[in-house]
Amino acid sequence: MLVVDDSAFMRRLITELVHTSDEFRVVGTARDGLDAVRKVHALRPDVVTLDIEMPELDGLHALGRIMRESPCPVVMLAAAAGDAGDQTIRALELGAVDFVRKPSGPVSPDLSVVRDRLLDALRASAQANLASVSREAQPAAAAGIHAPHAAGSRHGPATRAVAIAASTGGPRALATVIPRLPAGFGAAVLVAQHMPSGFTRSLAERLDALGALLVSEADHGEPVLAGHVYVAPGGTHMRVAQGDGCTTIGLDRARGAGPSPSADILFRSVASCFGVRAVGVVLTGMGRDAAAGLRCLHDAGGVGFAQDEESTVIHGMPRAAVAAGGVDRVVSLDDMASAISDALEPRHG
């Protein structure tokens, strides 16, 4: 792997964290974006860790050049402050496989957490479908699908729901699917994207800017409305529950080592509240989260979709969902929005 950061201290620290495992070997370091592009061409690393804020050529522009000139899996190193969330989401759209929040220092109390998260991201990168990662993203107005928020996209209490699960590669996949759902879409959309706190709000704001539907980071206790997309906040588990004439959002702080936000928790609650009026979608990601939840939703009469292997960055979650028996149809990423709309169409009225 190639380590890229303008801080000599951070380059050394990341190298030391990687060397605690015998799975990866650092073959070089780079001090800025231009140096990174040169060394990617010269060293041909299997994976690159790339800082976002650098002189000469910043991480976003370096990432763009790497993906155009010599595509390889890239893990972004994100600061915990400033506008790092917005920049990180943009990097994931541009083709970065994953991101890791930087440690705050050599004696940081979260150093072991950062190390584990970094190694997980590197493992995922080693399995990434580079053809999917390096293909041109189609999330924004260039795809001809952007429209301003329309009054028709705001409805009353939801009677139908779409639950979407995603992990590695998910932000880019969501930026393809969510904007293609039409104004006036008659269901609520609930998203469990594996992501730490501090970044899901930026993800929601980015998705909100791309399409006709209103997208926001979910709040505890708010009503679930048709035509609204709710993104589970990082570090929490989101569920839905029946209230007095209205379904509401519930948020619980995530504890333990399981995936967060949990798709299984979300899908089970959607199955309980919406049953045959629900659609479950499992997008790209590593692991088995959503497999049991989608089977529960399917058994309750809902429809289950899984992203196809060719378009996923990591096919682990869709593969596990198929194996668990909750998938009615395997769908390409480009066709997912229309499949969701078609599945809900017979339920109108």
Supply the residues annotated as catalytic.
Answer: 167, 194, 289
End-to-end Cα distance, the chain: 55
CA distances from 59 to 11, 69, 222, 319 (A): 15, 15, 37, 32
Distance between CA atoms of residues 44 and 189, nearest Å: 41
Q: Cβ distance 139 to 175 under 8 Å?
A: yes
Distance from CA of residue 39 to its chain's centroid? 29
Among candidates 138, 135, 173, 175, which has minimal Cα distance to 315? 173
3-state SS assignment for residue 48: strand
Distance between CA atoms of residues 239 and 323, nearest Å: 24
Distance between CA atoms of residues 52 and 7, nearest Å: 12
Distance between CA atoms of residues 27 and 328, nearest Å: 45
